[in-house]
């Protein structure tokens, strides 16, 4: 009789073990089972969002089949306090395990916005205000030169003001460092004048190699009390950075009465004409030492530089001939 009892107990115990094994195996299989979504989905988890609310949202996105199973998995795995808020890109057919790996690791989606070199502030603000990925109130700002061109990363918590201030702070740091380490022979009174000239260099130079040469031309002209005679300053006097001119300058444009027209004024214009890059700022703060006083486009994306007007006029004639031929 005792033998029979132990025999029954053994088989009952074995059945329990098998049941537990089946349950665990089934649980793991469901945990790693491919999800129902047939496309990549963006999942946003807000700070303080409950597991139940997250499960409901996952079901709405068709990322899981059963919200209660997701909640149970989170509880049994002890993940309820490990889920991080953020923006996550969940691949198609992602399992519950895949989803939890993403939101527990907390590697949120990083969006990017690129601000090209030489844009006006109005154009930069337009890009920020019209990017649907960036939250927050619209920004109104027009001061030129104070925003650093670059590619900026941001997530779903970033607002327009945050991004704007990051660009502004970056430019302040770049300008301060450039002024502190400037060539002592610069004919510039302060960092703001450096920024103004850097913005002109930004619009004039066709490539990075030319920037220091272009800067040297303008600095040499300032030292000799010659007018800068920069075409981009004339363009800015006509458009104020609101839109492209979309045509070539003519003789009457060069006679425009404006504090920005460097064909008509002595020295620098009153403010920058665009937001210059770090390389343009450095080109002005530490320029090449040259005797150049003139430059003109060479038709190949760069410029020909001259020490005197006679040589310059020869390069101008060559450039005009090249334009006619093309």
Profile the chain (326 residues) by mean pLDDT over runs of 10 residues: 50 46 51 88 88 92 89 88 88 90 84 94 94 89 94 90 95 97 96 98 91 96 96 94 88 92 96 97 95 88 88 86 72
In a domain, 75, yes or no: yes
Query: Residue 48 sits in which domain range?
Result: 32-109
Residues 192 and 297 grouped into a single domain: yes
In a domain, 3, yes or no: no
Phi, psi of 45 (to 5 degrees): -110, 120
Q: How far is CA 47 from the centre of its chain?
A: 25
In a domain, 18, yes or no: no
Residues 96 and 220 grouped into a single domain: no
Residues 142 and 60 grouped into a single domain: no
Angle at 258 between CA 255 and CA 263, to 5 degrees: 45
| Residue 274 and residue 241 in contact, taking contact as beta carbons nearer than 8 Å | yes
In a domain, 319, yes or no: yes
Element (H, E) at 200: helix 191-204
Per DSSP (E only), the strands in the chain are 41-45, 86-90, 111-115, 150-154, 294-297, 303-306
| Residue 90 and residue 43 in contact, taking contact as beta carbons nearer than 8 Å | yes
| Residue 69 and residue 96 in contact, taking contact as beta carbons nearer than 8 Å | yes
pLDDT in the model for residue 20:
41
**Where a domain ends, among 70, 94, 109?**
109
Q: Please give the tally of structural domains in the chain.
A: 3
**Where a domain ends, among 109, 132, 153?**
109
Residues 318, 14: Cα–Cα separation, whole Å: 97
pLDDT in the model for residue 319:
83
Residues 268, 265: Cα–Cα separation, whole Å: 8
Residues 164 and 243 grouped into a single domain: no
pLDDT in the model for residue 2:
53
**Where a domain ends, among 63, 85, 109?**
109
- The DSSP result for 23-53, as a single string, is HHHHHHHHHTSPPS--S-EEEEE-TT--HHH
SS3 249: coil
Written as six digits, the tokens of 45 are 């988890």
Q: The pTM is what?
A: 0.79
Written as six digits, the tokens of 317 are 């004639």
Ramachandran region of residue 301, left (φ > 0), alpha (ψ -120 to 50) or beta?
left
Q: What is the CATH number of the domain that holds 53?
A: 3.30.1490.480
Residues 131 and 235 grouped into a single domain: no
pLDDT in the model for residue 15:
45
Token pair 């002024």 is found at 179
In a domain, 5, yes or no: no
pLDDT in the model for residue 12:
55
């Amino acid at each position: 009789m005792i033998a029979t009892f132990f025999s029954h107990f053994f088989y009952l115990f074995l059945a329990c073990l098998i049941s537990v094994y089946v349950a665990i195996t089934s649980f793991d299989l469901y945990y790693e089972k491919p999800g129902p979504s047939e496309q990549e989905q963006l999942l946003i988890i807000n700070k303080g969002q409950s597991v139940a609310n997250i499960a409901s949202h996952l079901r709405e996105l068709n990322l899981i089949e059963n919200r209660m199973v997701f909640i149970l998995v989170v509880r049994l795995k002890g993940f309820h306090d490990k889920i991080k808020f953020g923006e996550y890109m969940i691949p198609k057919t992602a399992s519950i395990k895949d989803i939890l790996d993403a939101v527990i690791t907390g590697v949120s989606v990083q969006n990017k916005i690129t601000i090209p070199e030489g844009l006006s502030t109005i154009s930069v603000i337009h890009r920020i205000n019209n990017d649907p990925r960036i939250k927050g109130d619209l920004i109104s700002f027009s001061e030129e030169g104070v925003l650093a061109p670059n590619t900026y990363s941001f997530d779903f918590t970033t607002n327009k003001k945050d991004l704007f201030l990051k660009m502004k702070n970056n430019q302040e740091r770049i300008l301060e460092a450039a002024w502190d380490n400037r060539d002592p022979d610069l004919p510039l009174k302060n960092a703001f004048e450096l920024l103004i000239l850097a913005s002109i260099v930004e619009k004039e130079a066709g490539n990075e190699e030319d920037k220091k040469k272009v800067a040297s031309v303008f600095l040499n002209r300032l030292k000799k009390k010659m007018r800068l005679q920069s075409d981009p300053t004339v363009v800015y006097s006509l458009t104020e950075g609101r839109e492209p001119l979309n045509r070539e300058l003519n003789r009457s444009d060069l006679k425009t009465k404006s504090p920005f027209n460097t064909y008509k004024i002595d020295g620098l214009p009153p403010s920058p004409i665009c937001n210059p890059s770090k390389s343009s700022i450095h080109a002005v703060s530490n320029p090449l030492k040259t005797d150049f006083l003139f430059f003109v486009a060479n038709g190949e994306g760069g410029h020909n530089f001259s020490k005197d007007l006679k040589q310059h006029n020869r390069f101008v004639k060559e450039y005009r001939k090249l334009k006619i031929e093309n």
